Amino acid sequence: MSADDRVRRPPLERDHPIRNWSSFFAPGNGASPGNGSGEERAPDPVARAVELGYAVIDEYIRQGQNVARGVAQQMGDRGFSAMPPTGEWQQAMSRMAQLSAEWMGMWFELAQRAMGPVDGGAGSSWRSPFPATGGSPAHGTSGTTGVRVEHARVRVEVAAARPIEVSLDLRTEELHAALVVHSLRAVDPSLPRLTEVSFVPATGDAPAVLRVRVPVEHPPGTYRGVVIDPRSNRPAGSVAVRVLPA
């Protein structure tokens, strides 16, 4: 058989994938930009519009899910504080944490104002309780840690099977009062609250004590709550507990 007798495939119409939206659902029929035909039409604009619409919104949702999955995975693998300083989602997480801290500070100020007139400098100089702007984190797995806070001496007692960080910011020097700590919650409402957080008033020379107990199975995350002075029913500060992966 000579070379001229061999059966040959016809030349390919194209040798690369079509990568544009207008032809994605109806290859070859889309009116691609620049064809200059002046008269071409997609065969079924209704079906194509619906398919295109779903493609756009599903892609949008998928991108959001990917970001969320990356954040969750990274937090699970290494913990929030061990994240690398670069990367798109890392920046997003840092921004979220910063925003959260900023909002919390503003929130307390608003709450204070809503509950009554701001009395003097303490209320008007309210600062965010979280590490971005203030507070002294106490690291530990269990035992007792002394912490100097801005206005008064408070001892933090931690009982946890895993590393945690505790940030406490008090806006009162009345540590002989039986301050109430509301259960701490994460931004994600599906995470269980940290309920075993309590405040023991100072007595005599003994400092006030903040007791935090984190259950063994409690999921990693940052949990925040308000400290209330029950006599005035005003916010007296806040507590943040960051539970790190084991």
Partner 1 sequence: MRTTAAELVPAVLDEYGELTRVALCDYLRPREPRRHLYGIVADYPQRGGRMLRPSLCIATARVFGAAPENALPTAVALELLHNAFLVHDDVEDDSEERRGKPTLNSLHGVPVAVNVGDALTLLGIRALLDNRGVLGPWLSMRLIEETERMARESIEGQAIELGWRRDNALHLTEADYLDMVLRKTCWYTTIYPSRAGALIGRGHASGLERFLRFGFFLGAAFQIQDDLLNLRGDPARYGKELEGDLWEGKRTLMLIRLLECCAASERDRLGEFLTRPRRARQASDVSWVRERMDHYGCLDHAGRVAHALAGAALHEYAEIYAPLPDSRDKQFIRELVTWVLERA
What is the C-alpha separation between 73 and 97, in angstroms, rounded?
Answer: 17
- Give whichever of 45 and 87 is closer to partner 1, judged by the CB atom: 45
- Give whichever of 56 and 82 is closer to partner 1, judged by the CB atom: 56
| Phi and psi angles of residue 91, each rounded to the nearest 5 degrees, phi first | -65, -40
| Phi and psi angles of residue 180, each rounded to the nearest 5 degrees, phi first | -105, 130
Identify residues 174-193 at the interface with partner 1 (CB under 8 A): 185, 189-190
Which residue in the set 71, 97, 111, 132 belongs to the binding site for partner 1 (CB under 8 A)?
Answer: 111
What is the C-alpha separation between 234 and 110, in angstroms, rounded?
Answer: 11
- Give whichever of 49 and 178 is closer to partner 1, judged by the CB atom: 49
What is the C-alpha separation between 241 and 166, in angstroms, rounded?
Answer: 5
Q: Is 2 in the site for partner 1 (CB under 8 A)?
A: no
- Give whichever of 11 and 189 is closer to partner 1, judged by the CB atom: 189
Please give the single-letter amino acid code of residue 134. G
What is the C-alpha separation between 37 and 58, in angstroms, rounded?
Answer: 32
Name beta bridge partners: 165: 139, 242
- Give whichever of 220 and 225 is closer to partner 1, judged by the CB atom: 225
What's the min distance (Å) between Cβ of 161 and partner 1?
A: 29
Identify residues 113-132 at the interface with partner 1 (CB under 8 A): 114
Identify residues 145-174 at the interface with partner 1 (CB under 8 A): none
Structural element, H or E, at residue 148: strand 138-148
- Binding residues for partner 1, rule CB under 8 A, total 35
- Cα Dmax for the chain: 110
Tokens matching residue 183: 């259960």
What's the min distance (Å) between Cβ of 166 and partner 1?
A: 22
- Give whichever of 173 and 188 is closer to partner 1, judged by the CB atom: 188
Q: What is the dihedral of CA 197, 150, 103, 87, to 10 degrees?
A: -90
Determine contact, residues 233/156, Cβ cutoff 8 Å. no
Identify residues 182-241 at the interface with partner 1 (CB under 8 A): 185, 189-190
DSSP secondary structure, 36-48, as one string: --S----S-HHHH
If you count them, how many residues does the chain have? 246
The stretch near partner 1 (CB under 8 A) out of 83-91, 104-112, 121-129, 203-211 is 104-112
What's the min distance (Å) between Cβ of 38 and partner 1?
A: 4
Binding mask 20-59 for partner 1 (x = CB under 8 A): xxx-x------xxxx-xxxxxx---xxx-xx-xxxxxx--
Binding site for partner 1 (CB under 8 A): 20-22, 24, 31-34, 36-41, 45-47, 49-50, 52-57, 60-61, 103, 107, 110-111, 114, 185, 189-190
